Amino acid sequence: MSTEVSEKPVVKKKEAEGLLSKRRKKLVSDPLNDDNPVTVQILGICSALAVTTQVKPTMIMAISVVAVVAFSNLVISLMRNLIPGRVRIIVQLAVVATLVTIVDQLLKAYFYDVWKVLSVFVGLIITNCIVMGRLEAYAMANKPYDSVLDGLGSGFGYSWVILAVAFFRELLGSASIFGFKVFDAIGIHNFPTNGLMVSPVGAFIILGLIVWVQRARTGYVER
């Protein structure tokens, strides 16, 4: 029923296009698989690997990244007509750095132990290519609401990948999930933990395998 032609720059006019129309659903769902920021676009890998030895800090990291991407997309999208093209990178960095500082202070206040584990990697959300990439590619040219959805989509796409990596690393490396000893609970007491999974090497290998599985399913071949 929606006619996209009659859209006016007023956000209130939601009747013109449903709040969750097909196009907007695609904005969120595309980055989950076909256009995943980590496995397809190769963005944001720096932190994807570093924090994933255990599921809990990874979860906090994922939430932080989703929040930062969504809000920075919103802010930049609201400001997109005010920013001169020449200085846009600096403006984007400033906005992202401000949001990351807020996240960092919140984590420090409410999740001090996790904040200790994440240490410098919270700060490194600033240089996470996903954030800058979405600002540059989407928020600079689109309306605020769409930009937030786009940010959420990319954030969730990133989240499931790092959570998957963390799941396997914690399961095989420490034989637990969220610190809960899974194998002890089902009666296998001598499960051999794999030291390689705790070290950085495990993350590379798991991520490589995830990419392989995903590409085998989608049939995408890189030349």
Catalog residues that contact another protein under the rule CB under 8 A. 39, 42-50, 89-90, 93-94, 97-98, 100-101, 104-105, 119-120, 123-124, 126-129, 132, 196, 199-205, 207-209, 211-216, 220-223
Measured from the CB of residue 192, what is the shortest distance to another protein in angstroms? 18
Measured from the CB of residue 64, what is the shortest distance to another protein in angstroms? 13
Task: Tell me the C-alpha distance between 165 and 171, whole Å.
Answer: 10
Query: Exposure string (b/e) for 103-117, b if CB count within 10 Å is 16 or more?
Result: bbeebeeeeeebbeb
The smaller minimum CB distance to another protein, of residues 60 and 132, is found at 132
The smaller minimum CB distance to another protein, of residues 11 and 89, is found at 89
The smaller minimum CB distance to another protein, of residues 180 and 220, is found at 220
Pairing of strands 180-181, 176-177: antiparallel
Other C-beta atoms closer than 10 Å to the C-beta of 155 total 26
The smaller minimum CB distance to another protein, of residues 141 and 201, is found at 201
Element (H, E) at 181: strand 180-181
Measured from the CB of residue 134, what is the shortest distance to another protein in angstroms? 13
Residue-by-residue DSSP string for 22-78: HHHHHHHHGGGTTT-TTTTS--SHHHHHHTTTSHHHHHHHHHHHHHHHHHHHHHHHH
The smaller minimum CB distance to another protein, of residues 42 and 141, is found at 42
Measured from the CB of residue 119, what is the shortest distance to another protein in angstroms? 7
Measured from the CB of residue 80, what is the shortest distance to another protein in angstroms? 19
Task: Tell me the C-alpha distance between 52 and 49, whole Å.
Answer: 6
